[in-house]
Structure 1
């Protein structure tokens, strides 16, 4: 059985910054601007930018610290899934349960990463079989994006009530 690495993250009050920990030591962060889906992630010495594109057929570009395109994420909103395409490998992001409180990233061999958020601690836990800063960065970004998208959907009825 493969050994999993355990990471935790905590979000700031407004959810614009997440700090990533391994054994209580800070190893990285995710920063975004308010309700923007773009983000900067740094883990150890690696830095990645996630740039959201498209409105009706959304996808996210993944760029390294030299601004080179190294992959993308294509979303299937109807199925709450995404396909992660890197230079030499593909992964799938999907809910692990029907309540969407846990998510997973899988390659063709099975689960690579499991992400569990916790609203009580304003953060969550990432369990990873793959020792990759890029996959860890993608995990952190996708949990942030998912939380933001759910928040936006939850606000629609409130906005309708205000505008009517």
Structure 2
């Protein structure tokens, strides 16, 4: 079954509103100073809890059962992540263009989600109804966005000082 979802996001907070047929069906809300997030899509509710320096992994907790249902591990240098479900299935999150405005979540067999975004909105097309995978794809994208912002903030003073010395 094919699913189409659009979203709007607040660039500053990173929060997402998810829509199907123009009706809000879900949201992803990030913590103010952390990259942890609460999410809801239709009847599913998940909490994403980051672990490790640079958020090297994320636990996904089902809010109804308080059970860890997935782990996400990041390969920052390759802009990839692996979503490992409790069932043992694994899915790869991968950016498909240089600007990271398009990305996919796939098991390379029968489930594939394609995302496309601009600065404050986007859409996804999915051949799976798995809400966890749909939300995880957006969550991972925001984690990479936040890492890029931190990296720029760290290097900007160095670049500025180098330019001023000349």
- TM-score, normalised on structure 1? 0.86
Partner of 2:86: 87
Q: Unaligned 5+ residue runs, structure 1? A: none
> Residue 80 and residue 31 in structure 1: after superposition, are their counterparts in 2 closer, same or farther (change >3 A)?
same
Question: How far apart, in 2, do the equivalents of 1:104 and 1:12 lie?
Answer: 21
With 138-147 and 11-20 compared, the bigger mean Cα shift is at: 11-20
Find runs of 4+ consecutive structure 1 residues off by over 6 angstroms.
161-164
Which one has a bigger Cα radius of gyration? 2
- Kindly state the Cα deviation for residue 110 of structure 1 after the two structures are TM-superposed: 6.1
DSSP 3-state at the match of 1:146 = helix
Shift in CA distance, 51/162, structure 1 to aligned 2, threshold 3 Å = farther
Pairs aligned (count): 160
Report the alpha carbon displacement of residue 107 of structure 1 after superposing the two structures with TM.
0.1
Work out which of the residue numbers 129, 143, 152 in structure 1 matches 2:127.
129
State the distance in 2 between where 1:75 and 1:27 align: 27
User: SS at 1:97's partner residue?
Assistant: coil
How far apart are residue 100 of structure 1 and its match? 2.1
Q: What are the ranges of 5 or more consecutive residues in structure 2 without an aligned counterpart?
A: none
Alpha-carbon contact 2:29-2:37 (below 8 Å) kept: yes
TM-score norm. by structure 2 comes to: 0.85
User: Counterparts in 2 of 1:112-151, with a 5 A limit?
Assistant: 112-119=112-119, 122-151=120-149
Instruction: Check conservation: 2:68, 2:86, Cα contact below 8 A.
Output: no
